[in-house]
Amino acid sequence: MNTDLIDTKHGLRLDRVVLLGRTFKEYRRYFLLELKELIGRDVLDVPGGVSSFCAEATARGIRVASFDPIYSLSVEEIAARSEPDLEAVYRAIGRFRPIAGNSFLRVNHG
């Protein structure tokens, strides 16, 4: 059994920090952000991590500066660090299954 990631009835419990990115939609939900209040404003995203928030927010007219120590690494190094975490979480929640080339196929359960 993988003791790093434990799936429970109440969500996914992690015993370590994993490199998973969050989307603009997830940031809005987590932090109760209103799009109309952010457009044209300056936003500081620390730690930005491997999320797509900065790119998605910028595309919506929000000025975002993201900072994270991981940004000192190359794209290849970031991928090498985050892909195993992503795979482990997907396997733990059981919603995805791996396909060729370390990609994942979404499996509908309902």
State the 10-residue block means of pLDDT for the chain, 110 residues long. 48 70 91 94 92 94 94 91 81 62 49
Q: How far is CA 78 from the centre of its chain?
A: 13
Question: Residue 12 has what pLDDT?
Answer: 66
Interatomic CA distance for residues 38 and 58, integer angstroms: 10
Question: Residue 36 has what pLDDT?
Answer: 94
Question: Residue 85 has what pLDDT?
Answer: 83
Sort 49 into a burial class: Cβ within 10 Å, 0-12 / 13-18 / 19+.
buried
Three-state secondary-structure class, residue 11 = strand
Please give the model's pTM, rounded to 2 decimal places. 0.64
Question: Residue 2 has what pLDDT?
Answer: 46
**Residue 104 DSSP label:** E
Question: Residue 110 has what pLDDT?
Answer: 44
Interatomic CA distance for residues 93 and 8, integer angstroms: 9
Interatomic CA distance for residues 55 and 65, integer angstroms: 10
